[in-house]
Amino acid sequence: MRIKGSQDLAAGLMFGIIGLLAIKIGADYPVGSWQRPGTGVLPLILAWCLVGIGAILTLKGLVSAGPSLLEGQWAWRPVIMVTLAGIAFALLVDDGGLVAAMAVSMAICALGTPETRWREFAYFTVIMCVTAVLMFIKGLGMPIKVFPWN
Amino acid sequence: MELTDLFSNLALGFSVAATPANMFWCLMGALVGTAIGVLPGVGPVATMALLLPTTYYLPPEGALIMLAGIYYGAQYGGSTTAILINLPGESSSVVTVLDGYQMAKQGRAGAALAIAAIGSFFAGCVATVAIAVAAPPLTKVAQKFAPADYCSLMVLGLVFAIVLARGSVVKALGMVFLGMLLGLVGTDVNTGNLRYTFGISDLFDGIGFVPLVMGLFGMAEIMANMTNAERRDLVTSKVTGLMPTWADLKASAMPVLRGTILGGFLGILPGGGAVLASFSSYTVEKKLAKDPSRFGKGAIEGVAGPESANNAAAQTSFIPMLTLGIPSNAVMAMMIGGMMIHGIVPGPQVMTDRPGLFWGMIASMWLGNLMLIVLNLPMIGLWVRMLMVPYRLMSVAILFFCCIGVYSLNNSANEVLFIAVFGLLGYLFFKLDCEPAPLLLGFILGPLLEVYMRRAMLLSRGDAMVFIERPLSASFLALAAVLLVIVLLPNIRKAREVAFVE
């Protein structure tokens, strides 16, 4: 059987799987009484709704024609690099200080597009770092180290 | 009696809004808003999210005045980009591109920019008065709502938002449910039980609004935009003849008026907002024109109408947020986020409990519009130069502001990790053609809905029929059901798709 609308199918699976997971985890939550609905009531209602939506979209993706998941490029390079850049900032900011966190994360982010011109990027990073230190650490007094040895 | 009330309320508002500090925040908001409006690929939602942590340092009045300024400033800025480079700076100025860019190519960029600004200003003034007039009675009505009525009103609001959103209704519904579920993560305030925290202590207080928004809108936006190679065709860096001719003004007068009225009404509807307003206004103007073929070739009505409509709608969309505490679109969800950071619970009580804040914000909108028209036209040159900043640098800067913004909230590096996760999720939504805006509305309304549902059930002693027995609640629910059924009927669905494509 050929899949006619892989985008809808994928969206359906996403909603469906999240819904099922939420039901499984939420099964232990107390439901309380009618008068005092417990912790589990609304999550379970929502989770079942999600499963329903997931089922509809999955069926729709299988049966009726729709856009393909592969239409348009998947931007793997920016997706991976931007995500890594966020993670790098999170890992570095506490121990490495603001300058290191900025330089590393911004460089990783810049790797995400082939359009980056590294000389221009270097100047830009220096300006950004100086501005950020002045604005956030000196100006707003945020408790972040400037350099790792501070 | 009512009129004197209106004047005394507005006087109170202006006394708050016109303090030097608040004027400054209003100006900052309007300028930042214009700047991001000018830049394509940076939306008001992402920018407001970026600035949300900063507003923590401001008094609540200043914070909300600035956030509001960003939104309507963006409507002004978006038109500049649309007219000068064949690209919408904001999604609400998509239609302005059609005729605005053509006018610029014919050497009438100045007239187009001026008409867009004048139309926006007029619409802004009318909408400010509309808010001031409509808010008190609506608030009075809202104060009589029982918990059950509130619950049903929220359902109706969510349904409206789905119906008027672009794209698939089913997917939008799914996003609302998912958003509500995400909103419930953390400690259940009523019972103290933990929900969906996976043992991660950073989730015990719930998913942060700021990391969620920055990931879904900021990071995902960078990812999506980095793929598209950019092309910006600037018509001309020099804009001359800013004064529109008498004939231009005469041709624009009626479209501005119609756009304002249309936009004002559409703005109040949940999910409507600026985009829908500008599209509808363009369609109306084209239908009413004696010679519709001029449209798309530089008709000034095609700039005047939609630009007035989007600004009017941008402002009237504050009405449901201010009076009922229900966000009608992602931007209003952001305003509510801004309120909650300052410990203000959105709802009808805001007007009575904090009249200075309420009326100050309304008055600031008028002041902000005035500042925008005075400042914007002479500053066109600066905005144009800003368009020269390439996206390869902007994306890096946005990434940094996302990270530092989230970090600054609680000095927690783990929350920065969340934006990386939400960024990935946002990109997935983008590829699956699932709009993130309904998710955000669900996220805000989910926990509120639970609170009111519990109150309603407690008051009715466990009788779920209370939602149907109370006339108000029943009519809200009935309306919601009717809307959902209508939009799912095949014929209407087709018409709706056509309307959004046009």
Confidence of residue B228 (pLDDT cuts 50, 70, 90): low
Q: Which whole-number Å values give the CA distances from B379 to B77, B308, B372, in the listed order?
A: 11, 20, 10
- Model confidence at B285, pLDDT cuts 50, 70, 90, reads confident
A87/A134 same-domain check: yes
CB A80 within 8 A of CB A111: no
Q: Which residues contact B62 (CB under 8 A, 6 or more apart)?
A: B21, B22, B25, B55
Give percent of chain A above pLDDT 70.
96
User: Band of the pLDDT at B191, cuts 50, 70, 90?
Assistant: confident
Q: Which of A39, A63, A87 is the last residue of a domain?
A: A63
Angle at B430 between CA A112 and CA B482, to 5 degrees: 165
User: Does residue B233 carry a pLDDT above 60?
Assistant: no
The pLDDT assigned to A48 comes to: 94
Residues shown for chain B: 502
Q: Which of residues 405-424 of B touch A (CB under 8 A)?
A: 407-408, 411, 413-414, 416-417, 419-420, 423-424
- Say if the Cβ atoms of A93 and B400 lie within 8 Å: no
- Full-model pTM: 0.83
pLDDT at B490 (0 to 100): 64
Which structural domain range is residue B82 located in?
Answer: 2-501
Confidence of residue B37 (pLDDT cuts 50, 70, 90): confident
Mean pLDDT for chain B overall:
83
State the smallest CA–CA distance between residue A135 and chain B in angstroms: 11
Within 8 A of A82 by CB-CB distance, chain B residues are 219, 222-223, 226, 399, 423
Helices (H), B300-348: 301-316, 318-324, 330-341
pLDDT score, position A83: 93
How many CB contacts within 8 angstroms connect chain A with chain B? 188
Please report the pLDDT score of residue A123 as a whole number.
Answer: 92
Residue B158 has pLDDT above 70, yes or no: yes
What is the pLDDT averaged over residues B313-334? 85
Same domain, A58 and A97: no
In chain B, which residues have their Cβ closer than 8 Å to the Cβ of A11? 171, 174, 432-434
Q: Does the beta-carbon distance from A57 to B174 stay under 8 Å? A: yes
pLDDT at B202 over 80: yes
Contact call for A115 and B196, based on CB within 8 A: no
Question: Would an 8 Å CB–CB cutoff place B449 in contact with chain A?
Answer: yes
Q: Which alpha helices (H) appear in chain A, and where do they start and end? A: 6-26, 41-63, 76-110, 118-132
Task: Give the per-residue pLDDT at B395.
Answer: 85
Q: What is the pLDDT of residues B341-387, one digit of tens each?
A: 888 888 888 888 888 888 998 899 889 888 888 877 778 778 777 77
Question: Is the C-alpha dihedral spanning A108, A112, A114, A119 positive or negative?
Answer: negative
Q: Is B226 part of the contact surface with chain A (CB cutoff 8 Å)?
A: yes
Please judge whether A109 and B195 are an interchain contact, meaning their C-beta atoms are less than 8 angstroms apart: no
- When CB atoms are compared, the residue of A37, A39, A89 closest to B453 is A37
Q: Do A22 and A55 reside in the same domain of the chain?
A: yes
Identify the three-state secondary structure at position A98: helix
The answer on A100 and A50 residing in a single domain is: no
Q: Write down the pLDDT at residue A58.
A: 92
- Whether A145 is covered by a domain: the verdict is no
Predicted confidence at residue B190, as pLDDT, reads: 79
Which is more confidently placed, A44 or B142? A44
| Contact B397/A at CB under 8 A | yes
Which pLDDT belongs to residue A47? 94
Chain B residues 41-60 within an 8 A CB cutoff of chain A: 57
Q: Does B484 touch chain A (CB under 8 A)?
A: no
Number of domains in chain A: 2
Q: Are residues A89 and A37 in the same domain?
A: no
Give the rounded distance of the alpha carbon of B300 from its chain centre.
26
Domain boundary (A18, A38, A63) is at A63
pLDDT value of position B500: 56
Percentage of residues in chain B with pLDDT exceeding 70? Answer: 92
pLDDT tens track for A45-96: 999 999 999 999 999 888 887 787 776 667 788 899 999 999 999 999 988 8
DSSP A32: B
The complex's ipTM works out to 0.91
Residue B196 to residue A22, Cβ atoms within 8 A: yes
Task: Enumerate residues 136 to 195 of chain B having a beta carbon within 8 A of any beta carbon in chain A.
Answer: 168, 170-171, 173-174, 177-178, 180-181, 184, 188, 190-191, 193, 195
Give the pLDDT of residue B140. Answer: 85
Mutate to test the interface with A, among B168, B223, B424, B488 (most CBs of A within 10 A): B223
Q: Which domain holds residue A135?
A: 76-139
Q: What are phi and psi of B386, to 5 degrees?
A: -65, -30
Q: Domain check: are A46 and A85 in the same one? A: no
- pLDDT of B437 reads 82
**Per the domain annotation, does A144 fall within a domain?**
no
The bridge status of strand B186-187 relative to strand B194-195 is: antiparallel
- B492-496 long-range contacts (CB < 8 A, ≥24 apart) are B493/B169
**Max mean pLDDT range (A30-39, B35-44, B422-431):** B422-431
Rounded (to 5) percent helix, strand, coil in chain B: 75, 0, 20
Nearest residue to A86 via CA among B215, B241, B460: B215
pLDDT(A35) > 90: no
CA distance A23 to A18: 9
- Number of structural domains chain B divides into: 1
A3 pLDDT more than 80: no
Tell me if A112 and B416 make a contact (CB, 8 A cut-off).
no
Best residue in A28, A57, A79, A120 to probe B by mutation, most B CBs within 10 Å?
A79
